[in-house]
Chain A
Amino acid sequence: MENNEFVIVDNREILIENELNLLELIRKANIELPTFCYHSDLSVYGACRLCIVDIEGMGIVTSCSTVPTAGMKVKTNTAELRKMRKMYLELLLANHHQSCTTCLKSDSCKLQDLASRMGVNEVRFKMSEVKMKIDDSCPSIVRDPNKCILCGDCVRACHEIQGIGAIDFINRGSGTTVAPAFNKELKEVDCVYCGLCASVCPTGAITVKQEIDNVWQAINDEKKIVVAQIAPAVRVAIGELFGFDAGILTTGKMVAALKMIGFDKVFDTSFAADLTVFEETNEFLKRRESGKKLPQFTSCCPGWVKYVEQYYSDLLDNLSSCKSPQQMFGAIAKDTLPESYGIDRADLFVVSIMPCSAKKFEAKRPEFNKDGQSDVDAVITTQELGRMIKQAGIQFANILPESLDMPLGFKTGAGVIFGTSGGVSEAVLRYASEKITGIKSDSPDFVEVRGNEGIHVKTVKIGGVELKLAIVSGLKNAGKIAQQVRNGECDYDFIEVMACPGGCVSGAGQPVSSDSKARNLRKQGLYQADKTLQLHKSQDNPYVNKCYQDHLGQVNGPEAHRLLHTKYRSRKRFNDSSFSVFNNPVNEKLQVCICVGTSCYLRGSQKLMQKLIEYVRDNGLEDKVDVRATFCFENCDKGPSVKVGQIEHSKCTYEMLVAEMNKQLSKIVV
């Protein structure tokens, strides 16, 4: 046999098939080399050195950053390699605040796993002691830098996949850590709480915030009726925590477990997804008729919504005004259930079970709070529910399935596929097609919008109508599309965005899985679940129709708007700050603040500032005017924003600014 397209790995010939690096090739040979800093979706960093191999003629190299070439002779498991790997692990552990028994990541910690695999029984190096502050400032993510091993996975994920770069390495030498800009807390910066960093972190240094205790407390409170809503993606993943394969549907077992834990009722977020389809599709068809505010972006993903608020607030009008299914469920539950149970609104406790960390933030947004009460009281992730089931000692694998409660537990397949990228578009198409053609269809599927690419563009023909869709996952991809829309370079009608690659199935609240295989299996699981249900189109959901009859009235009508729609706003990326450009000791000076935040900057605020400085100087106004550069009046869609004295001006031109300034100055002088 010809030898030149093979690599010899531990005396076996392994065919080279487009593998980008030796590590992938070795893994193909069923040898699981240990790694910390390698992720197939991210760039290669080559820092942890655990993936070392011995190549004849080359010596010991990191396999993740070596290209396989024909005839290479590789050893993966020599005594020397084992010794070195063990030492690297010991060094990492010496810098790691070991509190494994109380660490959230304990059951899925790569560091622990590898340490035991490599036989590290003691750490010979002196443990470092400096204790750094834990950041639990935001509702979704907790950072404990004391457990960080500096693999950089989180930094690259946030930068390369989400295009945000909210966290980065700071300082150097032994002081190096990963932190937001200026060592601020996460809640003060541009993090969108997607949790991708937590998903890739091999240790417990970044984790999703826990709310289990609040839920137990509500369950133990006699007065409270506690209801659950289960998001679509959870049902095909929770089984993984109990020995089932990814993608296996365990909705019934989950319901049974929730009832055993003490939930009074268990409902389905997919019901609210069906409701979303009614509202969102009609909103879309109306926009298409009028030709206004197109393309329409979906608004189900709270990470994406915060991203738009921060970076593309000029496109906020293009965002569907629909609340997400989680929040629609919350609003409907709080509006209808207390009456049917004969209790006070305050005694209904709504728990969401979500695949997502950003949903925790969404539930706490002021938009979804009525008279001091949130529509959704607590959000726990798939992992947290797994933990609760274990805490209660329930043998998940053995219990018998039970059914969801009515009416908010009834859904169609369209509401279930919401959990994967492409699913929302397909559900909308299933509704839109009947609405456009007026004909009931027997084959509801639109398989052409399913796909694994981060940006999937498709034109769908319905009757005589052509709809151009873009289905996007990962916020860096979303940013690319949003930029095209901003520049008027595309003519999409409808754009679906999910922040997590592949959609909610791979959310940060899901069980940790090291490969994209699980993602696909979960996806398939959802399409399978759709197939096994009797109904596949949201418009056929009898309970949603009844909900309109009894409570909501018209689709897109006033009551539907009150409960199911909302309005998002521009949001600054960073906490308040401004710096003085003209500042002097005179007290009665007129303050002129010009925003130099991203949007306003792009709209020329810096030029405005420079011209103003010249004007002030040329006219000898230095002691009368205090010019400041500030960041963000949260008015980005109408930039450049300027504040003269107390008066705010949007879309401010130089002429407007000078006129306003002189007007106010003349008042001061008189």
Chain B
Amino acid sequence: MQETKCKCGGNESARKFEKVCHILDSHSREKNKLIPILQEIQAEYRYLPEEVMTFVATCLDLSPARVYGVASFYANFALKPKGKHVVHVCDGTACHVKGSEDIKDALQKRLGLTDDKSTTEDMLFTLEPVSCLGACGLAPVITIDNKVYGQLTPADAVRLIDEVIAKEAE
């Protein structure tokens, strides 16, 4: 049996289930409110667990395939659990020209990630490429938990990550 284990205490996950029910109720369980419902659920879980999507499909009388179709269409919905810290590497034109590939490679190497595996085993980091952060003047740019760092070398980027890791270890 496949299970989604929650790392937090029991009350936390019960609260989440009740929250899902509450979110559904607050939208009167209407099919055409699927997107806001998913958004609010994602705010709770930080991603959209399969089982929860199936439950939502049941409650809204939609097919799970349709719910998944909608969820996978929008880049904003996360279908896999994300790490505690989310790192975005910009791969827009300006950043690409200024060597964002090398930064990505360096970070992937540091964190033991690949293009297909974007979250670390310990759930501490998720590394994702994004297509333009709108800070081209600072290229190449990365963000760590939405904070922007610009004009980086691969070594700079790795150092930033090391700082976060050090802080976590405290």
Contacts and interface: CB of A to CB of B under 8 A. Distances in A.
Interface stretch (A25-33, A261-269, A340-348, A606-614): A606-614
A574 interface: yes
Interface in A155-185: 159, 164-172, 179-183
A582 interface: yes
Contact of B10 (A574, A578, A626): A626
B69 A613 contact: no
Contacts of B69: 168-170
Contacts of B59: 601, 606
Interface in A319-378: none
Contacts of A601: 58-59
Contact of B1 (A578, A582, A583, A616): A578
B58 A597 contact: yes
A188 to B, nearest CB: 11
A307 B54 CA distance: 18
A581 B54 contact: no
B17 A159 contact: no
Nearest to A579: B51
B4 interface: yes
B1 A577 contact: yes
B18 A164 contact: no
B167 interface: no
A165 B65 contact: yes
B51 A627 contact: no
B11 to A, nearest CB: 6
A551 interface: no
B64 to A, nearest CB: 4
Given A171-B73, A598-B58, A623-B10, A579 B65 contact: no
A159 B4 contact: no
| Interface residue tally on B, bucketed by range | 35 or more
Contact of A596 (B1, B11, B55, B68): B55
A577 B51 contact: yes
A72 interface: no
B10 A172 contact: no
A189 B65 contact: yes
Contacts of A168: 63, 65-66, 68-69
A17 interface: no
Contact of A581 (B2, B14, B62, B67): B14
A613 B13 contact: no
Nearest to A585: B9
A168 B10 CA distance: 35
Nearest to A164: B63
Given A172-B73, A579-B49, A622-B11, A609 B17 contact: yes
Given A606-B21, A617-B14, A580 B5 contact: yes
B6 interface: yes
A597 B74 CA distance: 26
A196 interface: no
Interface in A126-176: 159, 164-172
B3 interface: yes
Ranked nearest first, the 10 interchain pairs of A and B with the lowest CB-CB distance are A165-B63, A181-B64, A584-B10, A168-B69, A168-B65, A181-B65, A579-B51, A582-B10, A181-B68, A581-B17
17 contacts: A164-B63, A168-B65, A170-B72, A172-B73, A181-B57, A181-B68, A182-B64, A577-B2, A577-B54, A578-B51, A580-B4, A580-B5, A580-B13, A582-B11, A597-B58, A617-B14, A630-B1
Given A165-B63, A581-B17, A610-B21, 9 more contacts: A168-B66, A190-B63, A573-B64, A576-B1, A577-B50, A579-B55, A583-B5, A597-B58, A613-B14
